[in-house]
């Protein structure tokens, strides 16, 4: 009989401690998930705005170059520059993944 009482007390203590630990870990995980989602939302917004800015810059550069050189050549020069910048960024990101 006393063993049953001790087992019941230990089970109650164990379940209480386990419940508190789950609540603490669950709250921590929820906070971290919120932080990550907020960071992702800010990053996506930044990327969209950056892409729009790059597009407007390229169109403006093409317009300016078109007053100096033929239009087709301005589009070609700006396209080549954008491709080269993209390739450099791709190579840098691939190299950073390997290290």
Domain ranges for the chain, please list them. 2-98
* pLDDT above 70 (res 24): yes
Query: Is residue 11 scored above 70 in pLDDT?
Result: yes
Structure token digits, residue 88: 């450099």
By the 8 A CB rule, do 88 and 76 touch? no
Q: Apex CA 74: angle with CA 69 and CA 80, to 5°?
A: 140
Structure confidence at residue 15 as a pLDDT band (50, 70, 90):
confident
Question: Which has more pLDDT, 89 or 20?
Answer: 89
Query: Is the pLDDT confidence value at 32 over 90?
Result: no
pLDDT on residue 28: 80
| pTM recorded for the entire structure | 0.61
Query: What would the mean pLDDT of 26-49 be, rounded to a whole number?
Result: 87
Q: What is the pLDDT of residue 13?
A: 80
User: Distance (Å, rounded) from C-alpha 11 to C-alpha 13?
Assistant: 5
Q: Is the pLDDT of residue 12 over 90?
A: no
Q: Please choose, from the candidates 84, 73, 49, the residue with its C-alpha nearest in 3D space to the C-alpha of residue 64.
A: 73
């Amino acid at each position: 009989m006393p063993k049953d009482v001790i087992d019941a007390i230990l089970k109650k203590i164990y379940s209480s401690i386990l419940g508190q630990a789950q609540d603490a870990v669950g709250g921590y995980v929820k906070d971290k998930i919120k932080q990550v989602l907020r960071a992702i939302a800010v990053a996506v917004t930044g990327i969209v705005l950056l892409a729009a800015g790059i597009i407007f810059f390229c169109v403006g550069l093409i317009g300016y170059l078109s007053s100096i050189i033929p239009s087709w050549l301005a589009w070609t020069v700006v396209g080549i520059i954008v491709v080269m910048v993209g390739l450099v960024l791709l190579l840098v990101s691939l190299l950073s993944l390997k290290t």
